[in-house]
Amino acid sequence: MHLRGVVLPGDEVRDLWIDDGQLTFEPVDGAETLVTEGFLVPGLVDAHCHPAIGVHGPSTVDEAIAQAMQDRDAGTLLIRDCGQPIDTRALQDRADLPRMIRCGRHLALPKRYIPGLGIDLGSPDELPDAVAEQAADGDGWVKLVGDWIDRSTGDLAPLWPDDALAEAVKVAHAAGVRVTAHVFGEDALPGLINAGIDCLEHGTGLSPELLAEMARRGTALVPTLINIENFPGIAEKATKYPVYAAHMRALHAGVRDMIASALSAGVAIYAGSDAGGMIAHGRLVDEIEALWRAGMSRTEALAAGSWSAREWLGHPSLTEGAPADLLVFDSDPREDLSVLRDPRHILLGGAVFR
C-alpha cells in the first residue's frame, strides 16, 4: 500500500509504503495507493485504559475484546492498560485490536480499592514480592494503588509505608520494569515520588513543589482529566464520609491549577482516558481535548496522546520499519483537535479498519 501526506509530527509531505504490515519510505513495487493527500498521524495512545473493565466491573474476555475495538475505532492503537482484573493475553494475540502493554493486576490492600479489580495483599510488607511477581507477569509496567479512602478515618490515606514503596520500586527497576500508582490525595505523594516511581495516575493532590521534584526526576503524570470530572459525583454519594467528600470536591476544584503548575514545571504529561468503570471506552479524544483546555497547546496535547506517548512507552511512530499503525485525516488535527473524531482511515499493522 502507498500513502502520501504530511507525516506528523513533521510538516513535510512524504510518501510512505506499507510492506508486510511495516512502514517504509522506500517505494514498494505494485503498491496500491490509499491516499494522495492528508495528514498521517501515529496511532493514538491511551496511556491509562482498562479494556477488561466495563461499567459493571471486571469484564469477560469477549467483553474486553468489544471494549478494545471501541477504543480502536476511536483511533487508539496502543494501550497501557494500567491494571486489569483478568488475563488479557488473548487480546494481544489478535491483530485487529490495539497493541497493549499489560500492567498485570492492581496491587492494593483489603477494602482499599474497588472490589474485585486488584490483588489485596495480606500486609504492606508483601508489596515488594507482589511487585516482583507482577513485574514478571506484565509487559514492563506495574500498577499500585497509592491511596484510597480509609473508612476507619473517613478520608483518603496512603496504602503503603515509605520503606515498602522504596523497596518495591527498587525490585521493579532491577527487573527492568516501571511502576505507576493511582493517587488522588496529597499524603501518599512524597512516599511515591521519593521511592523513584516512574509515573503517577490522576495526581490531583500534587503541589507545585512536588511537581518540580517530578520534573527533576523525570516522573511522568497521566492526569485522566475526564475521569476527575467524576469527583463531585463520587463526593455526592459518599454521604457517610463528609471529610472524604469535601476532600474530593477540593481536589476536583484544584485540578486546573495543578495542571498549570505541572506544565510550568515541565512535567511530562500523557493522555489517559481511564476507560473502564466510570468512563466509557473510545473517549481518548475527549481527554486530548481536555489537556488542551487545561493549558497544553493543541500540538502538545496531540503529542501526549500520540508520538510523545509512543516514545515514552518504547513504541515507534512513523519511522522506517515501524508497524503501520496510523490514522489519516483530511485536515491537520494540530489546527483543530476535533478533526481527530473523524479519521478518514485507521490502519493497524497495515490493515485498514476504516
DSSP-derived secondary structure for 63-127: HHHHHHHHHHHTTEEEEE-S--SS--HHHHT-TTS-EEE---SPEE-TTSSSTTTSEE-SSGGGH
Examine residue 286 and tell whether it contacts Zn ion (CB under 5 A): no
- If we measure between CA atoms, which residue out of 209, 205, 304, 223 comes closest to residue 265? 209
- Taking the least distance from each CB to Zn ion, the nearer of 198 and 274 is 274
**Contact stretch for Zn ion (CB under 5 A) within 54-62, 78-86, 278-286, 324-332:** 78-86
Residues 103-132 that bind Zn ion (CB under 5 A): none
> In the bound complex, what is the minimum distance in angstroms from residue 75's beta carbon to Zn ion?
20
Examine residue 274 and tell whether it contacts Zn ion (CB under 5 A): yes
- Taking the least distance from each CB to Zn ion, the nearer of 274 and 287 is 274
- Taking the least distance from each CB to Zn ion, the nearer of 98 and 323 is 98
SS3 readout for 287-341: HHHHHHHCCCCHHHHHHHCCHHHHHHHCCCCCCCCCECCEEEECCCCCCCHHHHH
> In the bound complex, what is the minimum distance in angstroms from residue 50's beta carbon to Zn ion?
6
- If we measure between CA atoms, which residue out of 185, 230, 176 comes closest to residue 205? 185
**Contact stretch for Zn ion (CB under 5 A) within 16-24, 89-97, 266-274, 285-293:** 266-274
Residue number of the CB closest to Zn ion reads: 274
Examine residue 155 and tell whether it contacts Zn ion (CB under 5 A): no
| 46 secondary structure, DSSP code | E
**Contact stretch for Zn ion (CB under 5 A) within 33-41, 75-83, 95-103, 317-325:** 75-83
Give the span between the Cα atoms of 127 and 278, in whole angstroms: 27
**Contact stretch for Zn ion (CB under 5 A) within 35-43, 88-96, 112-120, 274-282:** 274-282
The contact set with Zn ion (CB under 5 A) reads 82, 274
